[in-house]
Amino acid sequence: MDTGNSIVISIILLSLKKNVMEDRLCLECQQPLSGRADKKFCDDQCRSSYNNRLNADSSKVVRSINAILRRNKQILSDYCPEGKSKIKKEKLISKGLDSQYHTHTYTTKEGSVYRFCYDYGWLQLDNDYILIVRNDSQTKI
Ligand SMILES: [Zn+2]
């Protein structure tokens, strides 16, 4: 292969690469984009549709987690009318308590970790029991 051919091939490769780079698509409607290299949308309408959809998806996640947290709090409060009670863990689970979800934790000086859903918390005891507490101040138990 002489130098001339190799230059021609380089130019072809370069233009192919350029075409690939220019073949960018709108993130919303998937139409090819022209213009600035950092352009992501055809127009403001596509941009706002895209952002609205992203926001809707994230608030859907927030709403479903909030629903779990509220249900947990409701279950805990149903079984803790006096502000403190001991109950079998399986009872709470059967009522739908999802112990993975909580708003915060509180660790006592002794190292016991209470998990809270808002103002109701629970502590796993050594046996199959759970201690439920209501804590309005969120600092002392
Ligand atoms: Zn578009």
SS3 content of the chain, % helix, strand, coil (to 5): 45, 20, 35
Q: How far apart are CA 107 and CA 8, in angstroms?
A: 71
For residue 72, count CB atoms less than 10 angstroms from its CB and return exposed for 0-12, middle for 13-18, buried for 19 or more.
Answer: buried
Coil vs helix vs strand at 32: strand
Global pTM reads 0.67
Give distance in angstroms: CA of 54 to centre of ligand 1: 15
- How confident is the prediction along the chain (141 residues), in pLDDT tens digits per residue? 455 666 666 655 555 555 555 579 999 999 999 888 899 999 999 999 999 999 998 899 999 999 999 999 999 999 999 999 999 999 999 999 999 999 999 999 999 999 999 999 999 998 899 999 998 764 455
Compute the distance between CA of residue 116 and CA of residue 71 in angstroms, rounded to an integer: 12
Residue type, 75: I
| CA 15 to ligand 1 centroid distance, Å | 25
Residue 59 Cα to ligand 1 midpoint, Å, equals: 23
Ligand 1 centroid from CA 132, angstroms: 53
23 alpha carbon to ligand 1 midpoint, in Å?
14
Q: How far is the CA of 26 from the centre of ligand 1 (A)?
A: 5
User: Hey, how many other C-beta atoms are within 10 angstroms of the C-beta on 74?
Assistant: 14
Q: Given this model, what pLDDT does residue 40 score?
A: 94
**63 Cα–ligand 1 center, Å:** 29
